[in-house]
Structure 1
Amino acid sequence: MEYFLSKIGEYTIEPVGRQVGYMIHCKTNLGKLEAIAETLKAARESLATEVDAAKTRGETIRPDVELWLEKVNLITAETDEWLKDESQAKLKCLHGFCPNLIIRRHLSRDSTKLVPEIVQLYEKRGFSSVSYGPHQKEVSGVTRNDYVALPSRISVVKKIMDELKTSETNRIEVCGMGGVGKTTLVKEVYKQAAEDKKLFDDVIILLDVKQNPDLEAIQKKIVEKLGMEVLDNETMHGRASRLCARIQGKMILVILDDVEEKLDLKLVGLPSLPTCKILLTCRTRGVLGFHNMRADKRFHLDVLVKEEAWSLFEKMAGDVVKQNGCRDIAIQIAERCGGLPLLVVTVASALKDESRLHVWKDALRRLRRFDREEITEKVYLAVEWCYNNLDDEELKPLFLLCGIVVC
């Protein structure tokens, strides 16, 4: 008998009591809902301010942040429906003399269901960052037009990409003499790595590091490119701590081009981590010689073979090299470029679409004078020749400015 009475209480009295409780505590439950909803709205406004600032900087908002804001907007809109004046006006019937028990129970019950959902959303409000830096918009001249797919370069790029995909390789050096094409090669690596969304969370590239080899300057550029703020009066050590925290748990590729001096990357804030990979170019090997942070893999970039040098020259000079009068001279000019891509591109570009045969002959004669020079000196002399052959005086300052940026 007691068992049946307990079951009757369980299936009748308790549910009825719960429904009555909804009606009695309606005002209290709605008050709780309103209070926690206001707290969630404040958190939303705070995060929305950060999002607006990130968008102003041209950054990409993280998908989880956008999803959280979307969920908050939906649930606060639903909450507002329950709390608006029209709903409150329905709490009484008979011209306000008698409480509308059905509406009170309905509002009270639903408000108690919304509160846990709002609390759960509020607890998930903490995000380490709201955006990704604008890494795909590097002002670095990284374009497809910079890269000519030559077999020897395709092979090296593929090997580097394969190494970047292995957990054993974290530090890679690409070595070679000036003008051999190291910068162009790592630009292609940058593009391929940035396009592979599954490989890295962030990919950044710093060109011409030798122009400003100061460690703190390098550190600030890396911080900016990762979408972080460069704080005033912040010490290098403090910035390194923030940078180190930023890359923890993320797959990062940092490309440093044309490094002349040894770099203490640990001091910068890039310690040896399996998730942080470094690719740099240098003319002499061993620039990763601090704190046992030596290169795990090193690639030496050689000059182009004869066939590749001609292929590059032909592409840069245009269809004029196919003419019978120019072709033989063009081949000789390409050979005297010594397989250096920079020299090939510089000379071929200067002669692009030039149909006057005497100009080609003059170019060959001048290049023959450089035969006894060292290869580096030959590059500078060829560049000087290209400058002197500019017909438009207004282009010469622009040429010099480009030389400052590239050399």
Structure 2
Amino acid sequence: MDLVKLCLSPLCSCMQSPVVRQDMSYVFSTKEKLDDVKNAMEALMAKKKDIKRDLDSPQNKGKLPNNQLQLWLDKVGEKDDKVEQLLDEYRKGNCGAGSCSLNCFSRYKISSDAIKLEKEINQLKAEQLEISLVEIPPPKLVPTSHRIFGKGISSKLDTVYTCLADETVGMVGIWGMGGVGKTTLLRKIYQSLLDDANMRFDHVLFIEASQNIQLERLREEIAKKLKLASSAGEDIFNALKLKNFVLLLDNIWEQVDLPGLGILDPYGGNSSTKQYKHKVIFTTRSEDVCAQMGAKKRIKMECLKPNEAWDLFKDNVNLDVIESDKMINGIAKEVVKKCGGLPLALQVIGKAMSNKKTVQEWEFILSSLNNSSTGVVQGVEESLLPILKFSYDSLPINMNIKECFLSASMLGWTSKDYLVECWMGLGLITDFVNLQQAYGKAGHIFNILEESCLLCFYEDSVVHLHDVINEMAMWIALDCGMNKNKWIMKRYDGLAEIPTNDAENWRYANRVIIGGMELLPTLSHQCSNLLCLMIVNSSYLRNIPEGFFQQMPNLIYLDLSGTAIKELPKDIKYLINLQYLNISSTRISSLSKELVYLNKLQYLICRNLTGLGKVEDGLISRLQKLKILDLYPYGWVELKDLNILKKHLKAIGMRVVSQEVLQQLSCLPTTKLFIENLDSLISLSFETLSCKNHGFLQELEITSCPQLEELVMNGSETRLNNLIVYDVKKLQNIIWTDLSPPKIFHMLTSLYICECNLVSFAWVLHLPCLFYLNIEDCPETETLFYIEEREIQQVLERPNTFPALHSLFLFNLPKLMSMSNAALDFPQLSWFSIHECLHLKKLPFKHGINNSERINIYCEGGWWESLEWDDATIPPHLSPSHYWDGSDAGSFS
């Protein structure tokens, strides 16, 4: 009992404090404080309704409130939403009647927020407002044609109509890049529904949303369409619940709270309203928004085909001009090509050219477009690029996503891997523990950019931008066209050297990307702003002038790949801020000693240097900040240097020329390995080829290992893209240990097997991403894809056995009698080359062949004529491209 008094005594004293008593009132008087804020909000809403009544009077029709008044109305809407959220939080968090709630902290917070909110509401109510209106400005002259061009768009209109008639589809999401025609399609749907009484919708509501639009503003628009006195969600709900309606929401940028708008569940989840049709169709630039909205049907808008693009362009330009002059007609078609099938670009540029009547004017515009300078076209920068820029502006601000997008624009068509490497070299992807993590971050960025229709992917490995999106990106990079020399991108095909005036502009540049020249300029000025220099597609460039690098002291990114230089100049040592250096596919045969001065170098890329060989001892290990080292496939470093590098290296690609280095690979984060001439190697285990925790093996080549008999496939979570096994004649088995082929090779895109004695390649059937398959000079192979009896049914039931295979090459398989003991699918196969497989008489295609295109067969004419067909539906899908007899076979390679 004394203990209880001891504990309660200070508590009772504390309760006497005015501050504590006030805080306790927050806990025990929550309901009263919420009532106060609710009453204050009702008074404020009454004032708002009075103002709105004045604004909506007949004499004010066609006018809008001034900016100050509109801002006040928006703030009132925000406060109303906050009050509702607070009341809802109290209802959900209150665990019992009266004041005896167990969650004291929650009550305290709600009371505190209510007091603060009531104060803000009273301040809004006390504001003295001037009821001032302005005339509605005329709409911007952005061309919008509601005509439907192209079979693709017409088919999408049919798809929407099917969804409207389907009781199981309540919500449809239409998505695609800015300017691709989403709004045009939605307006066509709107007009069609208004004209079609057979659809029997009581209300067809077209609402234009936009970026950062408030929920209250959307409610007001819906209420106006329904001619309701109130825009409250409950009133909208009551007006629509027993009606058939379609809500068309145009241009949403994030998930819209439909219940908050008063819109019933479009799937008809309420049993009392299932007899009514409640449909929602929206447009967005992001497929992710479609997912967030729960759209059961998603329709992606694509760019127009060439003939459709030409029709749309003609609809917006002065048709008499382009049809009356053959030269103008030809130039106009080139202009259309530059628009890349993007409807908005075709419309805006077509309108801009509608008053141009001379060949000179048309030639000038084409030249300007070719030089990426749309600013000379009246109206383009003002109407096209800012509209497309909304997609860029809406990108997340984290992870350097905007900078990654702009950097992608400077590379054009490129591989995903090279772009990721570029992002890392420019410092846009940093702080990764290992390469897997870096690629994971890049994958997230790719997804965001693809969903926003800012990046496209060809065959999942090549990245590119739509021409107009690339134009927009470069416009943004140049400070919206205000700083023309910030990024310099030039090709000099046909010129021996760079003009002096161009080189002068380097002093202002942040990035310079050039190509196609034989000589670099001798710089007489400092390029202090230059951070990135890329010299690409310049196979005739043999030398770098003396002192060239001294003029760019702040350079962090240097790419000289693909040039014909034989050595790096000694003044490379002045690039003390350099973080990325790429000298791949040059004629360099040894690394310069001056590299040791590059104390900040993190990425050294030396791929495909045929004469490189061993790197000088101690050179690489002195680069203590090096993260990525790629010497694949010809270069290597000794074991002692590797032991130093492994402390900070996050990825390495190199040639393996000794058993000792091979044994150390399990401690190294290897990404690319070329294993050659290891005479004593009998068995090779996959999991020993890279560090288990940090490895990320992407490419593996095993060549001329005469004693190698088996590959043991173990380990998992790899990203192997390319596998080459060449001249390993004793290799007969690939052993799978506790794992199936997809777990090891789930990302494999290219497989080349030559001069091996593997009996079966059935495991290849399980590779979901395999794009290229070459099997050559395997004298013992009789059946390529022999499927065990117990697995045949499983293979037959699988939708596609080779879902991604594009190219198949079979050369010199003298014992090959059958490709498979079961019929197979090749849905993507485009090219099938087969040579010196004379005993093969049947092809394993399934009935009818599940392939939308004809498959090109490259083969001997005599072999083709000898083929046997059990199914007459197969030959029409095959197109033998070349015929030759045995005497010509030697020319095939």
TM-score, length-scaled by structure 2:
0.25
Residue of structure 2 in register with 1:163 after alignment: 163
| Equivalent-residue separation in structure 1 for 2:185 and 2:329 (angstroms) | 28
Q: Match of 1:262, SS?
A: coil
How many Å separate the matches in 2 of 1:316 and 1:336?
Answer: 16
Residue 370 of structure 1: CA displacement? 2.3
Partners of 1:364 and 1:313 lie apart in 2 by: 15
Q: Deviations over 1:145-173 (max 9, x none)?
A: 53244222111111111211111111000
SS at match of 2:224: helix
1:211 Cα deviation after fit = 4.3
SS in 2 for 1:257: strand
Using a 3 Å threshold, how does the CA distance of structure 1 residues 198 and 248 change in structure 2: closer, same or farther?
A: farther
Match of 1:308 in 2: 308
Paired residue type of 1:329: I
The question of whether the paired residues in 1 share the 8 Å contact of 2:149 and 2:308 is answered with: no
Q: Which secondary structure does the structure 1 equivalent of 2:198 belong to?
A: coil
**Counterpart in 2 of 1:345?**
347
The one-letter amino acid paired with 1:203 is: V
CA spacing shift, 1:379–1:306, aligned 2, 3 Å: farther
How far, CA to CA, are the matches of 2:316 and 2:176 in structure 1?
Answer: 23
Partner of 1:263: 256
Please say if residues 211 and 253 of structure 2, whose CA atoms lie closer than 8 Å, have aligned partners that are also in contact.
Answer: no
**Offset from partner CA, 1:294-331 (integer Å, 9 cap, x none):** 10100000111111111111221122212212011001
- In structure 2, what is the equivalent of residue 34 of structure 1? none
In the alignment, the residues of structure 1 paired with residue 161 and residue 367 of structure 2 have an alpha-carbon distance, to the nearest angstrom, of 42
Match of 1:378 among 471, 477, 481: 471
Distance 1:148 1:269 in 2: 33
**1:283 alignment partner in structure 2:** 285
* Residue of structure 1 in register with 2:219 after alignment: 219
Partners of 2:149 and 2:311 within 8 A in 1: no
Residue identity opposite 2:282 in structure 1: L
The question of 1:245 aligning with 2:241 is answered no
Deviation, 1:381, is: 8.3
Q: Aligned equivalents of 1:332 and 1:187: distance in 2?
A: 30
> Does the C-alpha gap of structure 1 residues 288 and 226 become closer, same or farther in structure 2, counting only changes over 3 Å?
farther
Contact kept in structure 2, 1:262 and 1:289, CA below 8 Å: no
**Structure-2 change in CA distance of 1:343 and 1:152 (3 Å):** same
Is the 1:316–1:352 contact (alpha carbons within 8 Å) kept by the matching residues of 2?
A: yes
Seq. identity, %:
25
Q: 1:259 to 1:145 in 2, by over 3 A?
A: closer
Q: Of the candidates 324, 327, 331, which is equivalent to residue 325 of structure 1?
A: 327
Structure 1 Cα separation of the partners of residues 140 and 355 of structure 2: 28
Is the 1:194–1:202 Cα contact (8 Å) retained in structure 2? no
Residue ranges of structure 1 left out of the alignment (5+ in a row): 1-54, 59-138, 232-238, 383-387, 389-407
2:203 corresponds in structure 1 to 202
Counterparts of 1:201 and 1:346 in 2: how far apart (Å)? 36
Structure (1/2) with the larger strand percentage? 2
Alpha-carbon distance between aligned partners in 2 of 1:175 and 1:295, rounded to the nearest angstrom: 11
Which has the larger helix fraction?
A: 1
Query: In 2 relative to 1, CA 210–188 (structure 1 residues): closer, same or farther, beyond 3 Å?
Result: same
**Separation in structure 2 between the aligned mates of residue 261 and residue 154 of structure 1, nearest angstrom:** 27
Give the 3-state SS of the residue equivalent to 2:253 in structure 1.
coil
In the alignment, the residues of structure 2 paired with residue 261 and residue 145 of structure 1 have an alpha-carbon distance, to the nearest angstrom, of 26
Contact 2:202 2:245 (C-alpha < 8 Å) held by counterparts = yes
SS of 1:277's equivalent in the other structure is: strand
In the alignment, the residues of structure 2 paired with residue 380 and residue 304 of structure 1 have an alpha-carbon distance, to the nearest angstrom, of 21
Contact 1:262–1:286 (Cα < 8 Å) also in 2: no
Q: How many residues align?
A: 241
Residue in 2 that maps onto 1:76? none
- Per the alignment, residue 355 of structure 1 pairs with 357
Q: Distance in 2 between matches of 1:140 and 1:254?
A: 25
Q: Is the counterpart of residue 175 in structure 1 residue 268 in structure 2?
A: no
**Deviates further, 316-325 or 363-372:** 363-372
Letter in 1 for 2:202: D
TM-score normalised according to structure 1 size: 0.54
Contact 1:266/1:272, CA 8 A, preserved across alignment? yes
Amino acid at match of 2:343: P
Residue 51 of structure 1: aligned partner = none
Q: 1:381, 1:181 → 2: CA distance?
A: 23
Map Cα deviations across residues 47-100 of structure 1 (whole Å, 9 max, x no partner).
xxxxxxxx99x9xxxxxxxxxxxxxxxxxxxxxxxxxxxxxxxxxxxxxxxxxx
Distance 2:343 2:144 in 1: 16
CA distance in 2, matches of 1:151, 1:320: 27
Report SS of the residue matched to 1:180: coil
Query: 1:201 corresponds to which letter in structure 2?
Result: D
- Residues of 2 paired with 1:288 and 1:140: CA distance? 29
Deviation of 1:353 after TM superposition, in Å, equals 4.7
Computed over aligned residues only, the root mean square deviation of the Cα atoms, in angstroms, reads: 3.3
Conserved? CA contact 2:146–2:185, under 8 Å: no
Deviation, structure 1 residue 362: 0.9
Unaligned runs of 5+ residues in structure 2 are 1-57, 62-138, 269-276, 374-408, 411-464, 476-480, 482-893
What is the SS of the residue equivalent to 1:146? coil
**CA apart distance, 1:258:** 0.8
SS in 2 for 1:147: coil
**Separation of aligned partners in 2, 1:187 and 1:351:** 26
Is the CA contact 1:304–1:340 (under 8 Å) kept in the aligned structure 2? yes
Report the Cα offset of residue 230 of structure 1: 3.0
How far is the alpha carbon of 1:289 from its aligned partner?
5.4
Output one character per residue of 1:110-156: Cα deviation in whole Å (capped at 9) or x when no partner. xxxxxxxxxxxxxxxxxxxxxxxxxxxxx999x99532442221111
CA contact 2:206–2:250 (8 Å) conserved in 1: yes
Distance in 1 of aligned mates of 2:243 and 2:290: 22
Q: For residues 187 and 381 of structure 1, what CA distance do their matches in structure 2 show?
A: 31
- Paired residues for 1:120-135 under 5 Å: none
Which whole-Å CA distance do the structure 2 matches of 1:368 and 1:140 have between them? 27
Larger RCO (alpha carbons 8 Å, 6+ apart): 1
Structure 1 residues 380 and 265, CA, compared in 2 at 3 Å: closer, same or farther?
A: same
Amino acid corresponding to residue 256 of structure 2 in structure 1: L
Q: Give 1:113-124 correspondences, 5 Å limit.
A: none
AA of the residue aligned to 2:302: D
Match of 1:385 in 2: none
Deviations 1:336-379 (A, max 9, x none): 00110000011111111521111101110111122977533525
Distance in 2, Cα, partners of 1:360 & 1:276: 50
Question: Contact 1:264–1:288 at 8 Å: present in 2 too?
Answer: no
Q: Distance in 1 between matches of 2:256 and 2:212?
A: 12
Q: Distance in 2 between matches of 1:320 and 1:380?
A: 32
**For 2:353 and 2:258, how far apart are their aligned partners in 1?**
43
- Report what 1:9 is aligned to: none
Q: Does 1:189 align with 2:189?
A: yes
Tell me how far apart the structure 1 counterparts of residues 155 and 291 of structure 2 sit (CA, whole Å). 27
Amino acid at match of 1:333: V
Q: Distance in 2 between matches of 1:354 and 1:187?
A: 30
The residue that corresponds to 1:97 in the other structure is none
Q: Which amino acid aligns with 1:251?
A: N
SS of the counterpart of 1:258? strand
**SS in structure 2 opposite 1:298?**
strand
Task: Give secondary structure in 1 for the equivalent of 2:299.
Answer: strand
Mapped to 1, the partners of 2:191 and 2:473 lie a distance apart of 29
Does the 8 Å CA contact 1:286/1:294 hold for their aligned counterparts? no
SS at match of 1:271: coil
